[in-house]
Chains A and B, each alone.
Chain A
Amino acid sequence: MHMHGGIGESIKRKEDGRFLHGKGNYIDDINLPGMLHMAILRSPHAHARIRSIDTTAAAANPGVIAVVTGELMAQHKLAWMPTLSYDTQAVLATDKVRFQGQEVAAVIAETKYQAEDARDLIVVDYDILPAVIDPEGAKAAGAPVIRDDKPEKKDNHIYHWESGDQAATQAAFAKADKVVRLHTFYPRCHPAPMETCGIVADVNGVTGKATIYLTSQAPHLHRTVFALVAGLPEENLRFVSPDIGGGFGNKVPVYPGYVVATAASLLIGRPVKWIEDRTENLISTGFARDFHMTGDLALDKDGRITALRVHLDSDNGAFFADAQPTKFKAGLFHIVTGSYDIPTAHVTADGYYTNKAPGGVAYRCSFRVTEASYLIERLITNAALEIGMDQAEFRRKNFIKKEQMPYHSATGWVYDSGDYDKAMDVALEKLGYDELKKDVEARRKKGEVTGIGIASFTEVVGAGHGKDYDLLGVAMFDSAELRVHPTGKALLRMGTKSQGQGHETTFAQIVAEELGIPAADVLVEEGDTDTAPYGLGTYASRSTPVAGAATAMVSRKLRDKARKIAAHLMEAAEEDLEWERGRFYVKGSPDKGKTIQELSFAAYSTNLPEGMEAGLEGVHYYDPPNMTFPYGTYAVVVDIDKGTGQVKVRRMVAVDDCGVRINPMIVEGQIHGGLAEGYGIAFMELITFDQEGNCIGSNFMDYLLPTAWETPKFELGETVTPSPHHPLGAKGVGESPTVGSPAAYVNAVIDALSPYGVKNIDMPVTSDKVWAALRAAGVTE
């Protein structure tokens, strides 16, 4: 069956072929003539002064071309680099190491085995210093100052940030009939895509042109950063993101390894490849979360929320390297009022340095929306349990109603659209909620431990409007350039970069819808900064809201030109032409028309209207007028083994509303993936540290990812409430499932343990924690 491939069609993916035949072109598949291999030596200590580094033996080892230290980088003013949060980060340590795993030196050799052999021979003499492993330690009197590289820095505080109305919120709490508090920790976890980060830097000393292949979710931004940092002329920099084996935000920051490899290639005059191993990926690259949050809900006697107050301490690691829009030090956390009509709110956030890897904004978080959504959905369920109201009913009582859209939230958001009751209806129907609750009661009477958890999240994506959203001063528009060839086929290039989201298919579908060229005839390219129009990349679910809009707009531009050509060819007035997907015809004479393919050829022919430029191509840079607000209701049913504390997810129902779905199959795939990641986050994923700052969770034996055996089956549902300001009505969906699901999973466990008075278990909810809660309540097998 031939599908045109317009919006709403679940056409199969155009990009599958190369992956199915093992012909994907990932960074480690790239091999250039004369290419060298780099291995990085990392600090074993969380906090230590460097007394000396001896590279003699390493440099003399077979196959070694060079050994690079911070001292050498400093000579080229590259020992430090700017971060995406306007801080600085060490490229190779000079004075001190500030987290276990920090980059100290690099070996460049003929083979990777030789590079690793030589790396083992570098001798570093350290003076170990006490380590700071959390915000509490960072704030403590007498805490070591981690960033003593900044002369004026006397403490470990990074930022203070506020949103909302303190006075109004305080007043509301003063008269509240009930206050529900939750203190919770969203632990450090990691996006852990299956492919680690890497680079092949090829700086041609003769031509001055540098071709940098790297795992980048935002190649244009990285090119600009490199131009600024390394002083390399930007026109001579070509950044190419090849196929990327998963990003999830891990491949947005600029990592020291990238800078060292590029510098090495420049100095040596040969291509240099650096592919990190999994331990390096987990111990040093952009982690996620690590937020200590306290939330208070003020309620009136009818169970209506009158105010929300939140304070959070953010653990940012040794350098403030969050990849987030400049204005928002705690990302978009202030979406924390979520799906609820809360008249007043106040959020305060403080960020701290610790002796841990830098980062925090990653792992499908929508710029910290995961943290916010987790807090509010846990608070809501706890409040419901506390006042004895059903979780769903309490939510409905406080939902923003669809008549209130566009909704102005207490922290300044303008929600575009949403019908939260409808998503809840669909979810509860799918769940068979009423029957299920009776079943839960019956099982509890038999002594079983079982529960239901609900989360009704609203999140915010599509960064973003230029006035408010920038990364290092570059506004967060995005772009699409469309060229239609004389034979009616097309080439579409965007400023985004897929890491598995299916852009080669879904964006072709937008062109198919708007311009009528079948998706099969539209070739989509991303990732090469020499050819793609400037864009800010793919993360924070922004591709569909921003680049998707740009694609629709440029398609419409070309359609407008095609209309003019059609009018000319058919000797009719433009207003007398009707458009049906792929064809203009004269009103009243549907047989008399011109297909887009005929018009494409005409655009290059002698048959153009007087004065019209040849060609059928254009580019659009889209500045979104607002963010978009996907939402949904998720529900989880769990059964708990009283003897071992193990939690089994019996059912997981997920109803999402991401507006118009371009390719439903791809949307569902995204949701499955995010729900599985949410499951991992809720139950097993953890990076933690001992008192010395040793990282536990720096390999896949300690950082646990769920297999197909543990991962539950997901039952999906949908509602469709278009975004009124998006050209296609689409909102973006990639992160919704990771944003919304952890609270659903944890709420189910809390509900199951609520008969025993348990109010909170921090993630990951491991069997030993559940066991401890049960035993504390006297429940045993």
Chain B
Amino acid sequence: MNVTMKVNGVEHTADVEPRVLLVDYIRTNLRLTGTHVGCDTSSCGACTVLIDGEPVKSCTQLAVQVNGRSISTVEGLSAGAAMTPIQTGFHEEHGLQCGFCTPGMMMVGTALLETNPDPSEEDIRWAISGNICRCTGYMNIVKAIQHAAAAQRAAAQAPKPEAVTAGGGQ
């Protein structure tokens, strides 16, 4: 059946069997392989994407369930080599080692900072408690998200450029 969804801002339509999992739709139909599969019991969060801005396990959604909705994957975080604060945070704080859980962690971090711009360590650990990492022991993932939060807060507080007033050359 037909399914239409916005993926990283671009609308896609496809004809898929109802049983196709959203993660398989993303990886196979859309060829976006940054979202990963780590388990078969909805237990690990490696497949986390944002659906209408909220982090969800894409292995536990049918593509057809997301019809008409908007999803964001890791590929949509930034264009080219530019990096969002979350990506920069993970780089600066060594928040990734093998990189397999990283897209999921970054999507959760991105969503968290939308609603909680100054999360405590506890807030962060709670927010990522649906995402398993085997390499980092989570310490630097927490630091990475804190780094991003600080950078975003600083950018938000930066003085805006003054408006040019009408009349009078400046």
**Chain A residues packing against B (C-beta within 8 Å):** 12-13, 16-24, 26, 28-29, 113, 191-196, 243-246, 248, 277-279, 499-502, 665-666, 668-677, 699-701, 705, 707-709, 711, 713-714
Contact = CB atoms under 8 A, between A and B. Distances in A.
Contacts of A676: 134, 136-138
A665 B75 CA distance: 27
A13 B92 CA distance: 9
Contacts of A279: 40
Contacts of A707: 128-132, 138
A672 B94 CA distance: 11
Contact of A194 (B27, B44, B83): B44
B140 A21 contact: no
B142 A500 contact: no
Nearest to B91: A16
B54 to A, nearest CB: 19
Chain A to chain B: the 5 pairs with minimum beta-carbon distance, closest first: A22-B34, A500-B98, A19-B99, A245-B100, A672-B137
Interface stretch (B101-109, B152-160, B162-170): B101-109
B96 A20 contact: yes
Given A12-B92, A12-B94, A194-B98, A22 B32 contact: yes
16 contacts: A12-B92, A13-B91, A16-B91, A21-B77, A21-B81, A29-B33, A191-B134, A194-B38, A194-B46, A194-B135, A195-B38, A245-B36, A672-B137, A699-B43, A707-B128, A708-B125
B115 interface: no
B132 A502 contact: no
Nearest to A17: B81
Residues of A contacting B: mostly: loop
B146 interface: no
Contacts of B98: 193-195, 243-246, 499-500
A672 B140 contact: yes
Contacts of A193: 98, 100, 134
A21 B74 contact: yes
A673 B98 CA distance: 11
Given A499-B98, A500-B97, A709-B129, A673 B43 contact: no
Given A245-B99, A669-B135, 16 more contacts: A12-B94, A20-B87, A20-B99, A23-B34, A23-B75, A28-B33, A193-B134, A194-B44, A194-B133, A668-B94, A672-B136, A673-B135, A676-B134, A707-B138, A708-B125, A711-B137
A499 B134 CA distance: 12
Nearest to A18: B99
Contacts of A19: 96, 99, 102
Given A19-B99, A21-B87, A22-B74, A714 B41 contact: no
Contacts of B102: 19-20
Contacts of B41: 278, 699-701
A20 B90 contact: yes
Contacts of A244: 98
Contacts of B39: 277-278, 699-700
Contact of A673 (B20, B131, B137): B137
B110 interface: no
A487 to B, nearest CB: 22
A6 B136 CA distance: 23
A708 to B, nearest CB: 4
B94 A669 contact: yes
Contact of A12 (B35, B77, B91, B129): B91
A193 B134 CA distance: 6
B134 A673 contact: yes
A244 B135 CA distance: 12
A18 B35 CA distance: 13
B94 to A, nearest CB: 5
Contacts of A191: 134
B73 interface: yes
A242 to B, nearest CB: 11
B141 interface: yes
B14 interface: no
B71 interface: no
A464 to B, nearest CB: 25
A22 B75 contact: yes
B124 interface: yes
Contact of B139 (A499, A501, A713): A713
Contact of A708 (B46, B75, B141): B141
Contacts of A673: 97, 134-137
Contacts of B46: 194
A714 B99 contact: no
Contacts of B36: 26, 28, 194-195, 245
A29 B100 CA distance: 12
Nearest to A676: B137
A162 B133 CA distance: 38
B37 interface: yes
Contacts of A666: 94
Contact of A22 (B35, B83, B129, B142): B35
